[in-house]
A and B are shown apart, each in its own frame.
Chain A
């Protein structure tokens, strides 16, 4: 398969979901079953094609990057910027090919799952069309080769997220959550945009290769490394928004208002991964300081959200915070330099997190049915404290869920263990190279916390006794359309797909296919080089593995001890550490903080602008009206009404007129010609006096009534006068007319001979 075929195939894969969107958005009501088979079918076709691309790329062109682009808009020579063109370009390298498959697998399986989950939904067809446009936008981010196109698709993905989160928009919390997601994303995007602009201003190109190549050959923004770091950090801001890093992580838990398959697709596996993918793409231009910043943000995010997850009771919220935490992990991995490990974790996380969300969807679906059956509309079907003992009723969901939980907790023989292990080894290596040991400490702590809260959730949901026996009877396993995706994801969470060595993935096909790119940054500001890093990694690998096994084991043990064997009482711990527990359960009060500062600040600013508009701008407009009214009223009426301002205005106008007369007089006639000047002054004064007299006595509309109307009436009078004169000719008697005719003929004969 040639380069062109591969590129064409990727474009086809890009456009197939768009086709699904277009057909479904217009025709969904007219298709049988509202077109779910069409959307799912198209996605599966695209999945097959993406697998073809991956296979071809890894076997035929394992070390190349295949690119192609075409110029979309040429603005010519823009004054102040220079030649500006917007290109659409495709870049297929190994991470793009892998990401294509990841996105397609998750998207097509989510489509399949939604057929069962969203059955009977009020906007079933539209939902599938929105899934299509989301997939299209995500694929655009994956295969693009320039910043501008990536930004366009970045925003499109944000839009699709808004549409999907707000699917049940009649519910205020859902529409609020959709707005919050979009706006918080936008905040990150401002940074992203500024970064892109800095790069464009320096390099006059948007394409990755162009920019990295230019940096490599020595050009850096505004000639200073600080600007290069700043550009890197600003670009990372986009990832902070999109991938829900601290401090812009607040939208992701609220986004759980959307349907669960949407949470699986967007907020676990793909859209949030777009930020991580973007960092991976732009890795070569990050300086050491930028990477350190990225690593710390990732670590902080991982820590904060892991602590919050321990205190959550809604099954989707636990998973949401777990996602934020794992994204922090990925970002941290990229930041410390463990590039392949970070991307590896992105892929494995996509599989098991999508599986976790779909599994929770399966559980919620069953709980909904059971509650509906019992006529109960108050109990929350998503609260894990209302669940228990589901493992006997929902075996497939249970066993796949166990697989996913093992993967996320980092238990050996799962894919999650491999990727997490690589990241933790990377953080230890980073610590030994730079002395920033806080990052690996946080990394291991979070690993332990993750294992704890995930198993807490599993035990409370699936083990133990269900409270309401009646409700328990009505619970049953989900239909096949929902269980097949779970099984597929569970299989993909097994270690064997990524490496044949269950304890180390570095030599597996996956990590060998995505080697860390050479940094293009000048050596003085670059992070530790590849060779140096790998050397440190070698030494830290074993320590990391032992520690991670220890930490995960402890977490799982404590979870079982608290919730299964009931040796430790969770309630007693919560009461003993009540302030900590409240702090965690209220999500570290981030939402309240943002409300008090950002939201109220924006409201105050809006109020200030409104004051300005109402008082000052409208004041000027109203003032003009008042002045006009004053002039037409005339002095006498103004005096009677008490419009002092108007009278003052008129007097001032009079004075100014006299002064103007004086000035013009002096300009036209030199001071010697006193007669003319005197005459002129006399005329002006007479005019002003006459006008004042007039305006004093004439009253409302005097000028209009008397002068303007007077002239019109004069014309009418004159016309009438002459009309009366000449109308005598018209006598109505024929003989008179004949006499006139004769007279006229005589005149003709005698005068015009």
Chain B
């Protein structure tokens, strides 16, 4: 137990990876499980942020350059653009099908 708290007090690469892994899982869970399309988008944001943490952690602890941070900034920008477009799509879906419940969007089924 004590070793566990000691390990917790001195954060290293592993700690960040665990956090990003957990975030990623929560994000995947949200994408696969939630009924509301907006909640699915939130899950996607979580996944992207998890990837960001991963990049930055590796950048800080493996190379001394700022490559990971730069990539993270790109990802944030892309996430923003993607969120805008995704919301536009959801808006269109609502206008066409009058619902944002992904379970009901199964027209491609035969």
Contact = CB atoms under 8 A, between A and B. Distances in A.
Interface string A722-739: 000001001111110011
**What band does the interface of chain B fall in when counting residues whose beta carbon is under 8 Å from A?**
10 to 19
Interface in A706-753: 727, 730-735, 738-739, 742
Contacts of A730: 108-110
A549 to B, nearest CB: 120
Interface in B57-110: 102-103, 105-110
B28 A733 contact: no
A738 B32 contact: yes
B31 interface: yes
Contacts of B14: none
Interface in B27-46: 28, 31-33, 40
A735 B32 contact: yes
Contact of B106 (A731, A739, A742): A731
A733 B103 CA distance: 6
A13 to B, nearest CB: 90
Contact of A732 (B32, B33, B40, B106): B106
A733 B32 CA distance: 10
B102 A735 contact: yes
Contacts of B40: 735
A727 B33 contact: no
Contact of B110 (A727, A734, A735, A742): A727
A544 to B, nearest CB: 117
A98 to B, nearest CB: 101
A742 B32 contact: yes
A176 B108 CA distance: 83
A201 to B, nearest CB: 85
A734 B109 CA distance: 10
Contacts of A735: 31-33, 40, 102
Nearest to A737: B108
A742 B32 CA distance: 10
A738 B41 CA distance: 13
Nearest to A731: B109
A733 B105 contact: yes
A734 B107 CA distance: 10
Contacts of B28: 742
Nearest to B28: A742
Contacts of B102: 733-735
B31 A732 contact: no
A454 to B, nearest CB: 107
A196 B73 CA distance: 109
Contacts of B31: 735, 738
B66 to A, nearest CB: 28
B39 to A, nearest CB: 11
A720 to B, nearest CB: 14
Contact of A739 (B32, B105, B109): B32
A229 to B, nearest CB: 98
B31 to A, nearest CB: 6
A742 B108 CA distance: 20
Nearest to A736: B32
Contacts of B108: 730, 732
Nearest to A733: B106
Interface string A434-471: 00000000000000000000000000000000000000
A67 B40 CA distance: 110
- Max chain A C-beta neighbours (<10 A), residue from B28, B32, B107: B32
A732 B33 CA distance: 15
A536 B99 CA distance: 136
Contacts of A734: 102, 105
A95 B110 CA distance: 101
- Max chain B C-beta neighbours (<10 A), residue from A727, A731, A732, A738: A732
A730 B109 CA distance: 6
Nearest to B34: A735
Contacts of B33: 735
Contacts of A732: 105-109
B105 to A, nearest CB: 7
A739 B28 CA distance: 9
A113 to B, nearest CB: 94
A665 B51 CA distance: 78
Contacts of B109: 730-733
Interface string A515-554: 0000000000000000000000000000000000000000
A734 to B, nearest CB: 6
Interface in B12-27: none
Contacts of A742: 28, 32
Contacts of A738: 31-32
Nearest to B110: A730
A731 B106 CA distance: 7
A204 to B, nearest CB: 86
A732 B106 CA distance: 4
Nearest to B108: A732
A742 B105 CA distance: 20
Contacts of B110: 727, 730
A616 B108 CA distance: 68
Contacts of A727: 110
A731 to B, nearest CB: 6
- Max chain A C-beta neighbours (<10 A), residue from B33, B40, B106: B106
Contacts of B106: 731-733
B35 to A, nearest CB: 9
Contacts of B105: 732-734
A722 to B, nearest CB: 16
A730 B107 CA distance: 11
A742 B43 CA distance: 14
A735 B43 CA distance: 12
Nearest to A727: B110
A520 to B, nearest CB: 101
A732 B109 CA distance: 4
Contacts of A739: 32
A735 B106 CA distance: 10
A743 B37 CA distance: 21
Given A738-B31, A738-B32, A742-B28, 17 more contacts: A727-B110, A730-B108, A730-B109, A730-B110, A731-B106, A731-B109, A732-B105, A732-B109, A733-B102, A733-B106, A734-B102, A734-B105, A735-B32, A735-B33, A735-B40, A735-B102, A739-B32
Interface of A: 727, 730-735, 738-739, 742
28 contacts: A727-B110, A730-B108, A730-B109, A730-B110, A731-B106, A731-B109, A732-B105, A732-B106, A732-B107, A732-B108, A732-B109, A733-B102, A733-B103, A733-B105, A733-B106, A733-B109, A734-B102, A734-B105, A735-B31, A735-B32, A735-B33, A735-B40, A735-B102, A738-B31, A738-B32, A739-B32, A742-B28, A742-B32
Query: Which 10 residue pairs are nearest across A and B when measured between Cβ atoms?
Result: A732-B109, A732-B106, A732-B108, A739-B32, A735-B32, A733-B106, A734-B102, A731-B109, A730-B109, A735-B102
